[in-house]
């Protein structure tokens, strides 16, 4: 479904990705794991269109999406939850979640919201509260629900577990499982390998902007856990 080939990303003189090639097949949950600065966010940001690669190709269903602007990629069925729980603090929980389905029609939005509230009752209980007043874990759940709200075919999750208490790690894991049950394809970047390894089918261990290992979760588990402590 998603093919990344020979991707280079540079920020001025800094090379963040070097010849990166990654495949995500339909229905898979693929994990990018690696220490700080390994290049995980740069990979996700290149797919969503927030950074422009210096070289290489990104194909979605065989189509090169390099020329598709960031705001149009959502319409291709890509959902995105950024690193660091970026919710809109003064908007309510409900407004935050619905912003993920912006421009999609009232009926679609209502159905998506009903579904999300049935999965995470907390979103209903806190619907009218400004998102900035929530705890870190609650904000992360709102950010993920926002990405789920458009019911994307490909969901990009950047560090969904970082800095969260175990109770929220469980809730976020449940959200990801719900998307898996719906057949969503997922690409997830995560430093906290342990909970992510429970959800992924395959993974890539990254370091210095390159893939160091790839394989099934069983094959990469040891090196993924080693990177977690770097």
Binding mask 8-47 for ligand ATP (x = CB under 6 A): ---x--x-x-----------------x-xxxxxxx-----
User: By rule CB under 6 A, what string of x and - marks binding of each residue 148-177 to ligand ATP?
Assistant: ------------------------------
Q: Is 82 in the site for ligand ATP (CB under 6 A)?
A: no
| Whole-number Å distance between alpha carbons of 135 and 76 | 32
- Distance between alpha carbon 64 and the CA centroid of its chain, in Å? 20
Q: Looking at beta carbons only, is 47 or 123 nearer to ligand ATP?
A: 47
Task: Sketch the per residue contact string, 42 through 81, with ligand ATP: x for CB under 6 A, - otherwise.
Answer: x---------------------------------------
CA–CA separation, 82 and 78 (whole Å): 13
Q: How far is the CB of 12 from ligand ATP (least distance, A)?
A: 6
Q: Closer to ligand ATP by CB, 140 or 150: give it.
A: 140
The terminus-to-terminus CA distance of the chain in angstroms comes to 31
In Å, how far are 69, 71, 182 from 104, measured between CA atoms?
Answer: 18, 14, 19
Nearer to ligand ATP by Cβ, of 2 and 112: the residue is 2
Name which of 14 and 102 has its Cβ closer to ligand ATP: 14
Which among 192, 150, 149 is positioned nearest to 173, based on CA atoms?
192
Footprint of ligand ATP (CB under 6 A): 11, 14, 16, 34, 36-42, 83, 191
């Amino acid at each position: 479904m998603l093919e990344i080939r020979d991707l280079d990303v540079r920020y001025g003189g800094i090379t963040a990705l070097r010849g990166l090639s990654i495949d995500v097949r339909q229905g898979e949950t693929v994990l990018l794991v690696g220490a700080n600065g390994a290049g995980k966010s740069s990979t996700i940001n290149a797919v969503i269109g927030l950074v422009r690669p210096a070289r290489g190709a990104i194909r979605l269903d065989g189509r090169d999406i390099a020329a598709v602007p960031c705001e149009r990629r959502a319409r291709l069925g890509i959902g995105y939850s950024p690193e660091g729980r970026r919710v809109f603090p003064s908007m309510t929980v409900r407004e935050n979640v619905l912003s993920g389905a912006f421009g999609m029609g009232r009926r679609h939005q209502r159905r998506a919201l009903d579904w999300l509230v049935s999965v995470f009752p907390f979103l209903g209980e806190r619907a009218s509260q400004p998102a900035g007043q929530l705890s870190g874990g609650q904000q992360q759940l709102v950010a993920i629900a926002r990405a789920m709200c458009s019911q994307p075919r490909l969901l990009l999750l950047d560090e969904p577990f970082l800095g969260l208490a175990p109770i929220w790690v469980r809730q976020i894991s449940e959200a990801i499982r719900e998307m898996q049950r719906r057949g969503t394809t997922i690409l997830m970047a995560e430093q906290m390998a342990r909970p992510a390894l429970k959800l992924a089918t395959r993974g890539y261990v990254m370091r210095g902007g390159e893939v160091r290992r790839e394989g099934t979760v069983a094959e990469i588990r040891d090196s993924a856990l080693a990177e977690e402590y770097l």
